[in-house]
Amino acid sequence: MSSKPMPLAKQRTVRLQTLPLSAHKQQQIYELLHAFRLAKDQFLVELAPAKTWGFLDSKRGFRDAMKKAGAYPAGVNVHLVDQAAFDAVDTWVRHIESVLATGDVKAKIWRRYRGDELQRRFAYTCLNRYGWIGEILRGQVPVVGSKELAGLGEKERTQVARYLHRVLRKALSKHENPRAHAERSMSLDDTLYTTFTTSAPPAARPARLGTHTCDPEHRRCRQGHMRQYVEIIGCEPGARIALPLAGVSHVSGNIGLVADEDADGVAIHVVYPVKALGEATGPDESIDWGVTEVCTDAHGIKHGHGLGRLLEEFTEKNNAAGKARGKLHATTRALRKVNPGSRKARRIARNNLGHKKQARWRARAQSGVRTLSGQAVKEVVYGAGNRTRGRGRVPQLAYQRPRRLAAEDLSHLRGKAKSKKLSRICSTWMRSENQGRMVVHASIGGVDAKTANAAYTSQTCPEPTCGYVSRDNRQGDAFHCRNPYWDCNWQGDADHVAAMNLLARLADREIGVYTHHTEVKTILDERFRRRRESRVGARAVPQGTAGNGVQGACVEDGATAHGRTPSKPRGPRLVVGGGDATDSQSPEHAACSGETQRLESEKKRRA
Ligand SMILES: [Zn+2]
């Protein structure tokens, strides 16, 4: 397994805003979300013991069992409680999946059972059903009736189950069980709401509409002639709440209701299926995620410019505001010490120490990041200047999109803090955003998105005949190969180098996604050692002797004799000194003259 496919996005979420709601409707929404939260929290607690995890494979089974047990609260719409039960199951499933991902469980299994394919397969199969995971946690061995696993004995199965038990316990102990605390959102399936449209009241219509006629059949009108409502269930049985939307769209399937504390309205999240363009056939591509730009591809082209500035501005603003807040906090404390009921202190707390403005800054920064991230990923997937089909102006030819797209696995969050100023939370959020965009656009473009092992990709020389690994190769954004054995001198951009190496990892048979980074280093060092020795060996043959069929002492001739093509200057090779200039123009010549001297000095050192 040299790379791991990313999940396919079959759908994407679009956020529809409602118009400001009346106080009565806001109160109804609040009651609805409150009842939903209470019910969901109760179900989450019910699902905490591992013996109930069989229900995670069957939502309806869980709902029926809860109904039977009398867990449904009285006086609350039954459909609402059903939805809470389904949601609790979904939340637990997501929780377990994230525990498996952050605990590296699959990678651990892969490493542990590297010699035994059957045991490894059994271990992976056990993770396929949550009921089985529950059984393992209770010390049982799940009964997996698969033909492929028929050859696996009882003893081995027990041993695998015990190992999984240990690993899962440890992974789960690092996380708290999910609970429902916030009363901010809920999901509604299509039995819990209806939609209808009316013509908008004349007062709400823009004055300069003229004779525009809209199309009620397709419910499409961007100019305010029509008003669309989503009518959702209320908290009490039979109650309905009609929410007017700010625009007119297609609303169907499962929708989400999201309340925003600061706004008078709520948002409706609608999920649309992704329309795929068909399989891509272009050359493979890879990207290295960054902080200054969104990403760099294997051709050294940077996408999503301005990300660094955006993040820096936001961080600076946030830090400055934080400092000012600290001072004001101190002032209010001092004022309250003198007079506990100080009016000035109260005024400061109300007007200067709230979170509204902060939240607005953050939302603005996040939407900026989202835009850039989307642009960058679209450029990579559809080609520069291209947009999605939704905008309708794209040369969507299959060969313009890469067949495979490699990126590093972001779910591990391996330490790659390029910017110290950037807060951890911000970068975590950004990474998930990037990955989400990539999954969506890869799915639309028919691109096979993969995650590859990113260990040492920015420290390894990308020159195929070199591959020297050292921390010294990289200084900030610049890469300069410091190969001490021969004159490689490859120079370029560090992110570009990382992307090139990541692309090579796609086809790497030795380095898989789950290979531990220490092992990656060993493999890379070993490869470099072999290259070094084949070079030195070729040179050590005296001129004229046909010991191993090599004629002449020139290094590059030797390399050719070994079946490798002589190196050519590739990529954006920056030339610094005069000596390097000749080197980059005629590598063969330079290698012959310059390197013989180096070889001699090396011989002396060894002697
Ligand atoms: Zn090199």
Q: How do residues 176-192 score in pLDDT, each as one tens digit?
A: 999 988 888 888 988 89
Q: What is the mean pLDDT of residues 497-505?
A: 93
CA-to-CA distance for 140 and 132, rounded, in angstroms? 9
Looking at residue 4, its pLDDT comes to 77
Nearest to 403 by CA among 472, 449, 342: 449
Please tell me the distance between residue 342's alpha carbon and the centre of ligand 1 in angstroms.
69
pLDDT at 599 over 90: no
Please tell me the distance between residue 481's alpha carbon and the centre of ligand 1 in angstroms.
5
Q: pLDDT band at 600, cuts 50/70/90?
A: very low
pLDDT at 75 over 50: yes
pLDDT at 496 over 50: yes
CA 402 to chain centre: 19
558 or 171: which leads in pLDDT: 171
Q: What is the mean pLDDT of residues 480-508?
A: 92
Please tell me the distance between residue 288's alpha carbon and the centre of ligand 1 in angstroms.
20
Query: Among 34-38, 141-145, 563-567, where is mean pLDDT lowest?
Result: 563-567
CA 91 to chain centre: 19
Please tell me the distance between residue 532's alpha carbon and the centre of ligand 1 in angstroms.
11
Looking at residue 115, its pLDDT comes to 82
Looking at residue 566, its pLDDT comes to 38
481 or 17: which leads in pLDDT: 481
pLDDT at 308 over 90: no
CA-to-CA distance for 329 and 348, rounded, in angstroms? 9
| H-type alpha helices, 113-259 | 117-126, 130-137, 154-173
pLDDT at 589 over 60: no
pLDDT at 541 over 70: no
584 or 419: which leads in pLDDT: 419
Q: What is the mean pLDDT of residues 528-552?
A: 57
Looking at residue 200, its pLDDT comes to 64
Looking at residue 394, its pLDDT comes to 52
Crossing angle of helices 130-137 and 154-173, in 10° steps, is: 90
Please tell me the distance between residue 465's alpha carbon and the centre of ligand 1 in angstroms.
8
Please tell me the distance between residue 286's alpha carbon and the centre of ligand 1 in angstroms.
20
pTM: 0.60
Please tell me the distance between residue 468's alpha carbon and the centre of ligand 1 in angstroms.
5
Please tell me the distance between residue 308's alpha carbon and the centre of ligand 1 in angstroms.
29
Looking at residue 572, its pLDDT comes to 42
Within 13 Å and on the Cβ side, how many CA atoms surround 2?
11
What are the boundaries of each domain within the chain? 104-173, 188-273, 285-452, 471-606
Looking at residue 384, its pLDDT comes to 61
Please tell me the distance between residue 483's alpha carbon and the centre of ligand 1 in angstroms.
6
Query: Among 116-120, 387-391, 484-488, where is mean pLDDT lowest?
Result: 387-391
- pLDDT tens for 322-377 read 899 899 999 999 999 998 888 888 888 888 887 778 888 888 888 888 889 988 99
Phi then psi for 18, rounded to 5 degrees? -90, 165
Please tell me the distance between residue 528's alpha carbon and the centre of ligand 1 in angstroms.
10
Please tell me the distance between residue 347's alpha carbon and the centre of ligand 1 in angstroms.
64
User: Ligand 1 (ion): which residues have CB within 5 A?
Assistant: 461, 463, 466, 468, 481, 483, 488, 490
Q: What is the mean pLDDT of residues 450-461?
A: 90
Please tell me the distance between residue 408's alpha carbon and the centre of ligand 1 in angstroms.
22
Looking at residue 527, its pLDDT comes to 94
Please tell me the distance between residue 569's alpha carbon and the centre of ligand 1 in angstroms.
12
Q: What is the mean pLDDT of residues 103-120?
A: 87
Please tell me the distance between residue 73's alpha carbon and the centre of ligand 1 in angstroms.
69
pLDDT at 147 over 50: yes
Please tell me the distance between residue 571's alpha carbon and the centre of ligand 1 in angstroms.
13
pLDDT at 542 over 70: no
Looking at residue 96, its pLDDT comes to 92
Phi then psi for 479, rounded to 5 degrees? -115, 135
Percent pLDDT > 70 in the chain is 78
End-to-end CA distance of the chain: 44
As a whole number, the mean pLDDT across the chain is 79
CB atoms < 10 A from the CB of 498, how many?
28
- pLDDT tens for 256-282 read 999 877 677 889 999 887 777 788 888
pLDDT at 213 over 60: no
Helix, strand, coil percentages (3-state) for the chain, rounded to 5, are: 50, 15, 40
Per the DSSP assignment, residues forming a β-bridge with 304 are none
- pLDDT tens for 551-572 read 333 333 333 333 333 344 344 4
CA-to-CA distance for 22 and 16, rounded, in angstroms? 18
Q: What is the mean pLDDT of residues 59-79?
A: 89
Nearest to 482 by CA among 528, 526, 435, 515: 528
Which segments within 11-67 are labelled E, that is strand?
11-17
Please tell me the distance between residue 463's alpha carbon and the centre of ligand 1 in angstroms.
6
Q: pLDDT band at 225, cuts 50/70/90?
A: low
- pLDDT tens for 381-439 read 887 655 544 444 455 678 888 999 999 876 554 444 444 555 555 666 778 888 888 88
Q: pLDDT band at 543, cuts 50/70/90?
A: very low
pLDDT at 585 over 70: no
Cβ-proximal residues to 103 (8 Å cutoff; 6+ apart), any chain? 167, 168, 170, 171, 172, 174
Please tell me the distance between residue 407's alpha carbon and the centre of ligand 1 in angstroms.
23
Crossing angle of helices 117-126 and 130-137, in 10° steps, is: 100
